[in-house]
Amino acid sequence: APGLRSLGRSERTADTIEEVVTAADLLAKDKKGALIVMERAIGLRNYVESGIPLDAAVSYDLLTTIFEPKTRLHDGAVIIQEDRVAAAACFLPLTVSPKLDRDLGTRHRAAVGLTEECDAVAVVVSEERGEISVAIAGRLERKLTPESLRQRLQTLVLQRKGRFS
């Protein structure tokens, strides 16, 4: 669409963040697990290629549909590259860190594992607790509200394109 081209990159990224926050909030309320990865400076092509290619606009409708427990795509991660949903059902490396709480499952281990290896940001929704977390640089920040998630993503994805933080 010609209208989209006129939108600045940062406006598109702000919209992407809104859609991710809305999806995380809805999934958390429904206690549906999710793992959404946002690429930053380091490319995630290998991980994208492990999944099902989508190349779709980022919308909370699409994200919440992907993570419906009965869909074929709900297992694994969604990867967002340049404000597009690049792929779903992607495999990520699992952390072997003993520091991660024992009560956290594969999704959280994958979020931490990926962010130990690159500068991506991973948003995790726990189906057990309906809790939203963010993984960055191998660390997990837990029990985020939609508002605190929005602020973290704005800081990490909008303001710091390409820097570890």
Structural tokens at position 164: 């570890």
pTM assigned to the model: 0.91
Give the pLDDT score at 162. Answer: 43
Count CA atoms closer than 13 A to 19's CA, side-chain side.
Answer: 22
* Contacts of the segment 70-75: beta carbons below 8 A, 24+ positions apart: 74/33
**Residue spans of alpha helices (H) in the chain:** 2-6, 9-29, 45-49, 60-66, 106-117, 146-153
Give the pLDDT score at 7. Answer: 60
pLDDT < 50 regions, the chain: 1-2, 162-165
